[in-house]
Structure 1
Amino acid sequence: MQIPTLENERVKLSVLGMSNYKHLIEIAKQPHLVQFSPSKIDTPDNLKEYVQEAVDCFYKKTAIPFVVFDKQTNTYAGSTRFGQINWHNKVLHIGWTWIGTQFQGTGLNKNIKFLMLQYAFETLNFDKVEFRVDERNMRSRKAVEKLGAKLEGILRKDTLMIDGFKRNTCCYGILNEEWDVIKQKVFSGF
């Protein structure tokens, strides 16, 4: 399986791997960057383990991890990935997204999501894209809702967090047949 490079005027998403994850070490150190995630990335060793897990999933054909490069600032900004890819049922998740605080609220994430949704629906021709968000993470929930994703349900106490807390996870989805309307409504001007 090849990893595509997804790119527009604002952002470039290219393969994340052991050869380039070091570009993200300083960003990953930012406090509370992944506070609603069961992952730990704030030390170089933790980040290396996180990336190795993503690479392993890539080789199992269940993930496509990306490093995010912000073309506006000419710097690496974070990471995102397609995960839990179900090739038979044509369903995948977009998530594991984290970008430095200096990039948040700048439109970068919207550009990232557009490229990923476009690739999932228009190139891979998948039937559904899902997003899983910690119930407490209102900022991410609102961002996913602004993309046009619909809340499909809440999985209660389904994910063990680093601190031992069992979070509830909100499940959102976008269907392929909804994509054209969402693309025009949410992403016009792209």
Structure 2
Amino acid sequence: MQAPILQNNRVKLTLLDLSNYWHLTAIAQQPNLVQFSPSKIDTPEDLKDYVQHAVNSYYQKTAIPFIIFDKLSNTYAGCTRFGLINWHNKVLHIGWTWIGTEFQGTGLNKNMKFLMLQYAFENLNFEKVEFRIDERNIKSRKAVEKLGAKLEGILRKDTLMLDGFKRNTCCYGILVEEWPELKNTVFKDY
């Protein structure tokens, strides 16, 4: 599987792997960056393990992890991923996204989500894109709702967090037939 390079005037997404993840070391140490995730990334060893897991999933053809380069500030901003790729059912998830606090609220996330949705629907010809978000993560939930994703349900106490808490996970989705309208309204300037 060949990883695409997705880019526009604002952002460039390339394959995240063990040769480039070190660009994210300082960002990964920011407090509460992945507070609503079951992942640990705040030490160099934890970050390397996180990336190794993503790379393994890439070779198993169940994920495509990306490192995010912000063209506006000319620096690396974080990472994101196509994951839980189901090639047979034409469904994948966009997630495992974290960007440094200085990039949040700048439009970077919307730019990269546009590129990822466009690629999933128009190049991979997938029929559905899903997002799974901790019920408590209101900021991320509002962000995917602004993209046009619809809440499909809540999985109760389905994910064990690092502190032992069992979170509820909100499941959002966008269908391929919804994409043209979203592309012409939500993403009309991209």
Question: TM-score, structure 2 length as denominator?
Answer: 1.00
CA RMSD of aligned residues (A): 0.3
Residue of structure 2 equivalent to 1:61: 61
Give secondary structure in 2 for the equivalent of 1:102.
helix
Q: Deviations over 1:12-40 (max 9, x none)?
A: 00000000000000000000000000000
**1:145-164 correspondence runs (5 A):** 145-164=145-164
Partner AA of 1:125 in structure 2:
N
Q: What is the letter of the counterpart of residue 183 of structure 1? A: K
1:85 alignment counterpart:
85
Give me the whole-angstrom Cα distance separating, in 1, the residues matched to 2:167 and 2:189: 37
Aligned-partner SS, 2:156: strand
Q: Paired residue for 2:137? A: 137
The residue number in structure 1 matching 2:167 is 167
Q: Post-superposition shift, 1:189? A: 1.1
Residue 120 of structure 1 pairs with residue 114 of structure 2: no
1:95 aligns with 2:98: no
Question: In the alignment, is residue 20 of structure 1 matched against residue 20 of structure 2?
Answer: yes
Question: Whole-Å Cα distance in 2 between the matches of residues 181 and 146 of structure 1?
Answer: 13
Task: List 4+ stretches of structure 1 deviating above 2 A.
Answer: none
Distance in 2 between residues matched to 1:95 and 1:184, nearest whole Å: 23
Residue 108 of structure 1 is matched in structure 2 by 108
Counting aligned pairs with the same residue, the percent is 77
Partner of 2:71: 71
Partner amino acid, structure 1, of 2:175: L
Q: Secondary structure at the match of 1:179?
A: helix
**TM-score, with length taken from structure 1:** 1.00
Q: Secondary structure at the match of 1:4?
A: coil
Match of 1:48? Answer: 48
- What SS class does the counterpart of residue 3 from structure 1 fall into? coil
Supply the distance in 2 between the matched residues of 1:34 and 1:92 (Cα, whole angstroms). Answer: 21
Unaligned 5+ runs, structure 2: none
